[in-house]
Amino acid sequence: MISNLRIGGLASGIDTDSIIKDLMRAHRIPLTKLEQSRQILEWQQEDYRAINTALRTFRDAVFNMKLQSTYMAKRVTSSDENAVTATANSNAGNSVYNVKVNALATSAYNSSQGTLSKDPGDKIDSTKTLWSQKDKFANTGFDWILKDVVGEQINVTAEGTVFKLAHDAITTVPSQISVYPDGDGTAAPDTYSVFTDQTAYNDSSDPNKVLLDMATGQMTFSNTITAGSVITADYSYNTKTFKFSLTTYNQEHQAHIAEFTIDANTQSLNDVINLINADDKLEVTVFYDAGADKVSISRNITGDNNTGGVEIGVGTTGFLAEVLQINEANEQGGTDASATINGITITRATNNISFNNVTFNLKSETSSFITVSVDNNTDAVFNSIKDFIDKYNSVIETISNKLYEERYRDYLPLTDEQREELTDDQINKWTEKARSGLLRRDPILSDIYSRFRMTMSAVVPGVSGGYVKDGKTVYSDRLSAIGITTTADYMSGKLVIDENKLREAIEKDPQGILDLFTKNPDTKEYSEMGIAMRLYEDVNYGMERLIDKAGNASDVKLVDNSFIGKEIKEIDERIDTWEDRLKQLEDRYYRQFTAMEKAIQQMNSQSMWLMQQFGMYSQQ
């Protein structure tokens, strides 16, 4: 390792560092050329990849032009859009439909039969737990809890008279509780009569008795229970949970039953509502209106989806029917739509009725027939072609600019030393000229450019359709035939559109326009394909060549096997070799100058000694 801390010229007075720096500058010239070559390759790679990205974007536009649906867009008009609108897919034929809306589809809904709260002045709080609000509900007969039976054993660690069961909200208890004084159950237990009322407990003369608080589970014994005893009690308690189910039907008349388990001690009415709304298969929306103090539940879909029955099944008992007071008999809506189209009456669960590749959107009932017309959407096709030509011109301009960009060979990439001597503005201007023209007359871009232009000027054989104009049959077998030609500046490669001519071709020869762009022969012969089909092949070909040359922007340096990528790797290896060689050369120079300094230092020391000797003799 060569030290960066060197002090030269102490003996000789020579500026060693400057001399070595000048010597190394000459030796670094080949390395600088390698670094500049590497920078040029990187710039070329970036330019290639930028064009590849432009081609990838353009390919999406070309792909859309390959689709027949692009040229078969339909326009639909209605004589009364307040009653009926419609959309038509590309397979719909041009036609006129007479439509009468007999009935609209509706959604089923239901709501609380009465207010939920017992006291209008003290309404329930839907954000608080159901257990804390249960006494505020108007319905008092609902069993809020699921009961559970447990046999509990309490090991007494310290004597006392008051002990607590593991659960509160006790529902049933035995008539006696047993206490085993020895703890191991070998001796007969002491039995205590159980009282749940303070007065009855006080009036009892039983020496062994226990008062049980049903709400808290606390037990107060009449005698002291000694440490080591075991208290056993069998009882049931409220788990504070309950279950309910909700049944709905989809538009295929299939039932979906959702079951919910609610913890009243932790969950609120809002939590219950959110759980129901979160079940996508139920397809319902539930909300609680605090002002009305009622719950509303409605279907998210229309139609009579359970013929002869309710669509929102809550049952006759349970949380929904009792506490929320939703009565199935009060359900409203849930009806199918009905429309008569060209003499055929159609019933559907929704207000969108598909008929002969046309979807009719019913908005209101009508007393008479209205007219819905379907014909070719000339504007949509025109806009698609115009947008395609605009994108083509953009990409051809991008390629052309690089092909004919001026090259300034005297402007090489700046070295680090040169950058230090220039301002940022000067660096930018220099770099702009250094990067200019790196792809000038590039063979790959020239090939892509030529292919695109040949395709856009090609004749598509076997185009069907055609229309008569001025007594002659005109076929849309080339772009120029439909008003798309090269600009006056032929070298630019751009295209211009005669809008009137293009619209005329679209209106009079839709089949010809379709074939011109999308013709795809069974032979897959390139020369027989439509313009868009050929151009798609051209774009893919161009992208593949660019990737072979410069790789993808997403390529990692270590796995970039493109032509330029390999060249950069090779230069990197040569740069590493040169840097090692320069380090060794610089080290050799410093060793040589150090040896010189040592020799001079030695000579200086000898000279000083001689001078001292001569001085001594002269004094004698």
Q: List Cα–Cα distances, 228 to 184, 208, 220, 597, in angstroms.
A: 9, 18, 18, 98
8 A C-beta contact, residue 422 and residue 414: yes
Tokens encoding 3? 């030290």
Nearest to 45 by CA among 493, 561, 427: 561
| Range in 244-258, 374-388, 601-615 with the lowest mean pLDDT | 601-615
Instruction: Give the 3-state secondary structure percentages of the chain, helix then strand then coil, rounded to 5.
Output: 40, 25, 35
> Per-residue pLDDT for 90 more than 80?
yes
Task: Read off the amino acid at residue 290.
Answer: A
Tokens encoding 184? 């191991």
User: Which pLDDT belongs to residue 172?
Assistant: 87
- CA torsion sign for 214, 216, 220, 221 is positive
Q: What is the mean pLDDT of residues 595-617?
A: 72
Bigger pLDDT: 121 vs 32? 121
CB atoms within 10 A of CB 258: 16
Radius of gyration of the chain (CA): 47
Q: What is the mean pLDDT of residues 145-151?
A: 81
pLDDT-based confidence at 611, cuts 50/70/90? confident
Residue with tokens 């009905």: 338
Q: What is the mean pLDDT of residues 439-468?
A: 94
Average pLDDT, the chain: 90
Q: List Cα–Cα distances, 397 to 394, 405, 453, in angstroms.
A: 5, 12, 12
Tokens encoding 301? 């879909």
| 563-619 vs 531-550: helix crossing angle, rounded to 10 | 20
8 A C-beta contact, residue 248 and residue 299: yes
Cα-based angle 459, 461, 464 (whole degrees, multiple of 5): 115
> Per-residue pLDDT for 380 more than 70?
yes
Question: Which run of H or of E encompasses 382?
Answer: helix 378-403
pTM over 0.85: no
8 A C-beta contact, residue 166 and residue 236: no
Half-sphere exposure of 103 (CA within 13 A, CB side): 17
Domain ranges for the chain: 74-105+337-376, 109-139+241-330, 147-238
Which tens digits make up the pLDDT trace of 170-210? 888 888 999 998 877 678 899 999 999 999 999 999 999 99
8 A C-beta contact, residue 406 and residue 366: no
Give the length of the chain: 620
Buried b (16+ CB within 10 A) or exposed e, 366-398: beebbebebbbbbebbbebbeebbebbbebbeb
User: Which pLDDT belongs to residue 585?
Assistant: 81
Which tens digits make up the pLDDT trace of 511-568? 999 999 999 998 889 999 999 999 999 999 999 999 999 998 766 556 778 899 899 8
User: Which pLDDT belongs to residue 91?
Assistant: 86
> Per-residue pLDDT for 293 more than 60?
yes
> Per-residue pLDDT for 3 more than 90?
no
| 443-456 vs 378-403: helix crossing angle, rounded to 10 | 150
Bridge partner residues of 233 (DSSP): 152
Half-sphere exposure of 324 (CA within 13 A, CB side): 28
Which tens digits make up the pLDDT trace of 326-373? 999 999 989 999 999 999 999 999 999 999 999 999 999 999 999 999
Question: Which run of H or of E encompasses 424?
Answer: helix 424-435
The torsion angles phi and psi of 617, rounded to 5 degrees, stand at -65, -35
> Per-residue pLDDT for 236 more than 60?
yes
Which tens digits make up the pLDDT trace of 468-520? 888 889 899 999 999 999 987 777 889 999 999 999 999 999 999 999 999 99
Which tens digits make up the pLDDT trace of 587-598? 787 777 777 777
User: Which pLDDT belongs to residue 368?
Assistant: 96
pLDDT-based confidence at 305, cuts 50/70/90? very high
The DSSP call for residue 548 is H
Percent of the chain scoring above 90 in pLDDT: 71
Task: Read off the amino acid at residue 182.
Answer: D
pLDDT-based confidence at 619, cuts 50/70/90? low
In angstroms, the CA 216 to CA 218 distance is 5
User: Which pLDDT belongs to residue 96?
Assistant: 96
pLDDT-based confidence at 1, cuts 50/70/90? very low
pLDDT-based confidence at 5, cuts 50/70/90? very low
User: Which pLDDT belongs to residue 620?
Assistant: 54
User: Which pLDDT belongs to residue 221?
Assistant: 96
Which tens digits make up the pLDDT trace of 403-450? 999 999 999 999 888 888 899 999 999 999 999 999 999 999 999 999
Which tens digits make up the pLDDT trace of 151-164? 999 999 999 999 99
- CA torsion sign for 485, 490, 494, 496 is negative
In angstroms, the CA 313 to CA 144 distance is 20
8 A C-beta contact, residue 232 and residue 180: yes
Between the ranges 233-237, 348-352, 568-572, where is the mean pLDDT highest? 348-352
